[in-house]
A and B are shown apart, each in its own frame.
Chain A
Amino acid sequence: MNADDENGTAGEPGPDQDAFADALLEEELRQAAAVLDPVPAELVQTVLDAFVLHDLDARLAELTFDSVVDALPVRGVVDAPRMLTFRSGEVTVDVEVTGDGLIGQVLPPQSVRIEVLGGPGAARPVTADTLGRFTSDTPPAGPFALRLRTGAEVIVTEWLRA
């Protein structure tokens, strides 16, 4: 008696054969996905380049509020600005994203230099006053992060899709 007989080749398909057929079909789907819906090559290249975004010297400001997730929808208001809050230790960054650009403030108020990052190698300075209030008249196109240089340290906000 060989393994096939034991598992009922002649009659009803046995559980082992069903599982084997499942595994085959799954593998077939895997090959189909690789051919019909592969990861776009240019995307892979972009994220390969993103290794430079790994910055050990910067402190990470985590997203603690996102109006898309945390705010109750207001009836009749369909284009409410996106409100974001990032926090790193004592420092808080509030940002409002609209179709016109960014408005925000660093708390506690302080003089900071701020850049908007748009991907590997893309950084654009924004205007900030001595109280940490800043504006940018260019809305982020795609993923963005803010890099803040205070007197003592560098803080980067978590990457986010605007």
Chain B
Amino acid sequence: MRSGTLHSTAYDDVPYTRGGAVDRTEVGALVQSAVDGDAAAWKALVEGMSPLVWSVVRAHRLSDADGHEVFQTVWFRFAQHLGRIREPDKAGAWLASTARHECLKVLRGLARLTPTDDPRVLDRPSEDRTPEETLIDSEDAADRAERVRRLWQELDGLGERCRQLLRVLMASPPPSYGEISAALGIAVGSIGPLRQRCLRRLRARMDARGAV
């Protein structure tokens, strides 16, 4: 009788079933093909995993300039390490972990240069509107666009732990819990409960604002 409903503990008990468009079981094979010189495999890896790497950069609130450099550094290093990565099917976790460490280095470097200033305050992501955003405005889906904007605003009010988790969680395709753990340095076992708490807090905030 339960078919057709989402199992309540799906995310808590079987985290590794997550993972979408880039089938994570294919990642190991793509890495191997790339090692053998297959540029199409490299392209598939870049396109499938870039949102994850970007989400880690954003979760750490780097400035655009720093974020771009970290993003490139991570991928350049990945290209360099292809064939030396011990567990190719966990390349996503390798990328996420490398991105996290580079982000922490940037934050540490900033703290050293400006000991009294909070880099996260100094280096807000740019407020420029993307072409996609502008497009949304011009379409008749204005209500939906408004809700999306509110969701985005409410993220900032959730507290740093929730904001970071949700920013990585919302990468596309959905990252595995192993990747999220590598991205944020938190235990795999604590991700499910934290995810639930943060999503419900966000929903409560949206409800409180009377959002549709």
| Chain B residues closer than 8 Å to A143, beta-carbon distance | 69, 72-73, 76
Check B72 against A47 for contact (C-beta < 8 Å): yes
Write the chain A residue with the least CB distance to B206.
Answer: A25
Given A25-B202, A35-B133, A43-B68, A119 and B152 contact (CB-CB distance below 8 Å): no
Q: Does B84 contact A (CB under 8 A)?
A: yes
Q: Does A153 contact B (CB under 8 A)?
A: no
Q: Does A138 contact B (CB under 8 A)?
A: no
Cross-interface CB contact of B50 among A15, A30, A32, A39, cutoff 8 Å: A39
Minimum C-beta distance from A38 to chain B (A):
7
Check B76 against A18 for contact (C-beta < 8 Å): no
Cross-interface CB contact of B80 among A1, A119, A159, cutoff 8 Å: A159
Report B77-115 CB contacts with A as 1/0, cut-off 8 Å: 101111110000000000000000010011011001111
Q: Does A112 contact B (CB under 8 A)?
A: no
Cross-interface CB contact of B200 among A18, A36, A53, cutoff 8 Å: A18
Given A18-B8, A19-B9, A43-B68, A48 and B43 contact (CB-CB distance below 8 Å): yes
Check A47 against B195 for contact (C-beta < 8 Å): no
Cross-interface CB contact of A36 among B6, B80, B148, cutoff 8 Å: B148
Interface of A is mostly: helix
Cross-interface CB contact of B51 among A21, A39, A53, A55, cutoff 8 Å: A39
Write the chain A residue with the least CB distance to B76.
Answer: A159
Q: Can you report 24 A-B residue pairs in the complex whose CB atoms are below 8 A from each other? A: A3-B5, A22-B196, A23-B11, A25-B203, A28-B151, A29-B169, A30-B170, A32-B152, A34-B172, A35-B133, A35-B136, A35-B148, A36-B149, A39-B53, A44-B46, A47-B72, A50-B76, A53-B76, A54-B35, A69-B105, A78-B113, A78-B114, A143-B72, A143-B73
Which residues of chain A have a CB within 8 Å of any CB of chain B?
A: 1-4, 6-7, 14-16, 18-23, 25-26, 28-40, 43-44, 46-48, 50-56, 60, 66, 68-69, 73, 78-80, 119, 142-143, 145, 156, 158-161
